Structure 1
Amino acid sequence: MTSSQLVWLVLAVSALTLLLAVLGLHAYAGGRRDRAALVERLADIPGVQRSSVPFAALDRRVRRTAWGRRLEGRLAATGTNLTPGQFVAAGTGVIAGAWILADVIFAPFFGPIAALLAGWAAMSFLSWRQRVRNERFIAQLPELARVLANATQAGLALRTAVGMAADELEAPAGEELRQVDDALAMGHSVEDALGGLQGRLPSRELVVLVSTLVLSSRSGGTIVESLRNLTVTLEERKETRREIRTQMSQVTVTAYAVPVIGIGSLLLLNQMMPGALSAMTGSGLGRILVLVALSMYVVGFALIRRMSRIDV
């Protein structure tokens, strides 16, 4: 087998592995949603008890720490059903698996590096989930403003309008508005309830909406015209964000292609010359050069991602 045929074989196997991984993650996420819905339905049936939460003991230990409480807040902001204990257990498994795979596929020197990258990827997963949920909520803001304007025009109070919007809108807007409605029912002020929403899902669009509702509740004036004008503005900003995301999609793909090319080059080198990575990392100079090369890939990834982020 020639070197070019080997390269194409490795690329084909890598593409197939990535495809199977994506399909597996999609099936796993769907299974978790179905299981959560089934457990919720069973909880409403008399005489049926919910099964114990996995890693409950670890979850209690993690929640006692300050880091665990911060982690719980981040998990709540992502909208997932993961508990801090489950996340720690899953993250530990991912880190251990990455260490073992890098040790076996590349060289023992790459095991700790792969573990660090796996830990960073686990924490980045939370940021990514939170960002996706935030963007989905921003996309629902025009509809939210329209529902509130219609309810207010019909003569309903703000609290009633919020409860109506929570029933009509899908997640994440419906879930977040349900928390706001619960806070209002418990006696919290409009400013405090909406401030909690703004803290969980920070965005410029939500700041404008919250400011409009708070000022209206303080002054007691009508907010129908303000909400209708805000609806038009939010629709325009939504289209602008969509256009920017489409134009910057190539840059985003490039950012992820850079480290993939580096890892693929190491894999090809080790396949064409078995033991080359072990020999290269066997000396101090070789380890330094490998660390410098990996650092340059990380810096390149970070710079490209930073350039592709445009605040609107």
Structure 2
Amino acid sequence: MKRFSLFFALVFAVSMTMAQHVSTVMEDGDGNTANITQGFDGSGTSLDGNMSYVDQLGDDNDAMVTQYNNGYGGQAHNSEIFQTGDENTASVEQQNATGDAYINQVGDDNEANILEVGNFGTPAPAAGIAPYDAYASQEGDGNTVNMSIFGDGASAVAIQKGDYNIIYQELGQDVGNKVFKSSAYANQMGDSNEAIQIMEGQGFAGAIEIQFERERIWQTGDNNYAHQLQTDDLLPGGINYAEVKQTGDWNESWQTQSGMNNDSRVTQNGDSNWSVTTQFGNDNVVVVQQN
């Protein structure tokens, strides 16, 4: 017999300084679906925020969380999704606020999707730097992580343990804004892994500016593939960093950087490795080690 338990709590408090939505969903069983939408429409303040927690145990679970703030750059989106079972899907979308998204999946054929978008029409909090944090962890075979973060101060971390995994992470900005103080990290442990990280954005006056960016991909296993891209245009980019570490056979690594003070490091241990690194700009350093 299928056992299904659902606990849903929604708290709405209004004061002169803060409003908050809180949602908690717990499910135990097969074929469960949880859809949560939280938001403030037009009257949000800098302290408005949404909090969501989803815990699912079973097969064929589907969790979708949407959080938005259409007022003045809310600062407190938080979403956590935990899934244990097979063929789970978890999706988080956060709009116009500081974003914090966490997804943990244990099982086979899991899929994690995270989208965080800043409020480009209003000043970002924290002296122009709005932190966006996205984290996904998967254990099992055939896992996929897709993360897209559009805002300053972004941090994306994806960790996978298993075979045939794919990680795609994109960090950037919308037209009229620049990328600033962002980082992306991918760690894959298993066979036939693929990791792609792209960091770029549209800067002021039609140029692209990358500053204080970090990109790292670590892979352990066979048939791994890694591709990283950091780009800028007219305005100077500074202190860019990209690193790929691969241990195993038939590894392949691409790294492309455009800007100033770039640093690209590739370490490959194993047979039939292939690395292509291209940098445009001044004061660039490239270190490649293959065994």
Q: TM-score, normalised to structure 1's length? A: 0.19
Q: Between the two structures, name the one with larger relative contact order (CA 8 Å, sep ≥ 6).
A: 1
- For the pair shown, the structure with the greater C-alpha radius of gyration is 1
Q: TM-score, normalised to structure 2's length? A: 0.20
Q: Which has the higher helix share?
A: 1
Q: Which has the higher strand share?
A: 2
